[in-house]
Structure 1
């Protein structure tokens, strides 16, 4: 059987594909708009044609798919797109090879134990020479998600992904209450659409709520509403990331990724982010020693999948 495997990172906005021959090996990367294809099967077929690989039965030894939604019995319905994916059906399309289907943040979690200093950009706080314990990946993109990597002995790790974006989010200041009110979830505000909502609120109705996050952040130096949006986003992201560290005992650090997080880095109020991250009452001293990073290596979910062990479904 060939050692080449298809890896795919399927999000609500974009779907990414690549080929891997083993841990850390990634090639033939292609990115497609998720809305541009009617189904995952169609996107997969397009990818195989685009890389000129021919029928998958002749070269594909398996597939690892990370999808933006909760995986249940080998199937997933994307949270922010209409696609549903079945590991069994994908296997049939690929000639019966083994197909593993995981949550998209689980894929990033698989990468956490293998990240090097050159793959990371510190976000304020402290930097440790060696990270050996539990850590958490936090994604801000089309949606919001998180996954924890826990060492279970030697070089073995267990990865647990949840649906952190759907936790409740309440205001803690009068300003926050005026801007986004009550009855919100984390993903309502810390996401691509969330940035548009925050910006529209800060612009006092003078702007639509569908402005892209990168556009808002790029205008922060000249547009007061965009600057206030970036500052509030910094505080909210710090607060929620700190809460997730506390809830999962991820004392070896929080690692941010995703398109919105990447765009935010250029205008981040790092002081506000770290202040909110550390402001945890009796846990403040402990939180001040927990590092925070941005993952800057390209395609972290695809790279994480190259480290995945085979599984059914």
Structure 2
């Protein structure tokens, strides 16, 4: 996490929170006291704006609000004050954005950092059990899932508060597990010298997986976009699209299982992001669970780890708001 703070007097009554991905930029207002909830939610296209300053100004003008304190969750790595988005053209200095918007304080989180915080505050009816288990309440929780890219974060609970470790695990090398996956890996290597998990587990990755699957199986490519693959597969209109989605879920299970082994996240796995909530029936069909559990000789280690699909909307915005609330309660905002 990174932030820019200028001199100011006290906390603002209303915060600006944002969840900015490669495709969409979501904004909302959040109160500094009272129930944790979002107001004036808007969704803009990230590509329609050349910078976060332009997008924030458009939102604040739309909702007619004046803000001094903000938290923005951004899909991309930070280096000191510099933020470079992974799947969008935005590249900016945090303090320059704060100055341009005349914010007293601007806090930047990784998008999956905010998403992980948000999963702590979703309702139970917004969680679907994918794999049953008995979580270790003292162990980390893994939050992961594909959207424009593949996100992954580790959620820790310390002294009654939450802390999140953001990662760039989408760039871990893809490890094929069977002959079909090895053939797909070989086809993807013709395009890129190193195939990483995000090459498959993302929006563009799903389309690449479909094209490779068609080539391996000798099928005609009838679909040309990720949306067509998703919609045709979910509706059962295209057998190849459905098979691709099932393979997508199996590989997601493999990657999530590896991440649990690497992080010790026996507190559970929460699947989030933009794609999986659209595939609940396929996700529950068993391919994810098979990929997740196939970790000999560590099957028993994985068997106790519960996996849930987060279906709540605007979880990242809720997480940004929760982070601000935690800062104010700690008295550490300024």
User: Counterpart of 1:292?
Assistant: 307
User: 2:74 aligned with 1:48, yes or no?
Assistant: no
- State the alpha-carbon separation in 1 of the partners of residues 305 and 135 from structure 2: 13
User: Counterpart of 1:218?
Assistant: 231
- State the alpha-carbon separation in 1 of the partners of residues 178 and 295 from structure 2: 16
2:142 alignment partner, one of 136, 157, 179:
136
Query: Counterparts of 1:3-22 in structure 2 under 5 Å?
Result: 3-22=13-32
- State the alpha-carbon separation in 1 of the partners of residues 224 and 93 from structure 2: 32
Q: Does the 8 Å contact 2:83/2:92 carry over to 1?
A: yes
User: Counterpart of 2:38?
Assistant: 26
User: Counterpart of 1:101?
Assistant: 108
1:246 alignment partner, one of 251, 258, 261:
261
Change (3 A) 1:208 1:161: farther
- State the alpha-carbon separation in 2 of the partners of residues 265 and 287 from structure 1: 21
Residue 229 of structure 1 deviates from its aligned partner by 0.4
- State the alpha-carbon separation in 1 of the partners of residues 101 and 313 from structure 2: 27
Residue 127 of structure 1 deviates from its aligned partner by 5.2
User: Counterpart of 1:146?
Assistant: 152
Q: Does the 8 Å contact 1:234/1:270 carry over to 2?
A: no
Residue 86 of structure 1 deviates from its aligned partner by 2.6
Q: Does the 8 Å contact 1:179/1:201 carry over to 2?
A: yes
1:202-245, CA deviations, whole angstroms, 9 ceiling, x for partnerless residues?
22373388512x42122121212102201211110000011111
Q: Does the 8 Å contact 2:142/2:268 carry over to 1?
A: yes
Query: TM (normalized to structure 1)?
Result: 0.90
- State the alpha-carbon separation in 2 of the partners of residues 208 and 188 from structure 1: 21
Residue 114 of structure 1 deviates from its aligned partner by 3.2
- State the alpha-carbon separation in 2 of the partners of residues 99 and 69 from structure 1: 17
Q: Does the 8 Å contact 1:112/1:135 carry over to 2?
A: no
User: Counterpart of 1:186?
Assistant: 197
- State the alpha-carbon separation in 2 of the partners of residues 160 and 209 from structure 1: 38
User: Which deviates the most, 167-176 or 267-276?
Assistant: 267-276
1:271-310, CA deviations, whole angstroms, 9 ceiling, x for partnerless residues?
1211111111232112111111111111111000111144
SS of equivalent residue, structure 2 residue 89: coil
RMSD: 2.2
Q: Which runs of 5+ in 1 are unaligned?
A: none
User: Counterpart of 2:132?
Assistant: 126
User: 2:80 aligned with 1:66, yes or no?
Assistant: no
Query: TM (normalized to structure 2)?
Result: 0.85
User: 2:176 aligned with 1:171, yes or no?
Assistant: yes
Moved over 3 A (4+): 112-116, 127-133, 309-313
Q: Does the 8 Å contact 2:223/2:229 carry over to 1?
A: no
User: Counterpart of 2:207?
Assistant: 196
Q: Does the 8 Å contact 2:135/2:306 carry over to 1?
A: no
Residue 160 of structure 1 deviates from its aligned partner by 0.1
- State the alpha-carbon separation in 1 of the partners of residues 283 and 154 from structure 2: 24
User: Counterpart of 1:112?
Assistant: 119
Residue 259 of structure 1 deviates from its aligned partner by 1.4
Query: Counterparts of 1:154-165 in structure 2 under 5 Å?
Result: 155-165=160-170
Residue 171 of structure 1 deviates from its aligned partner by 1.7
User: 2:240 aligned with 1:229, yes or no?
Assistant: no
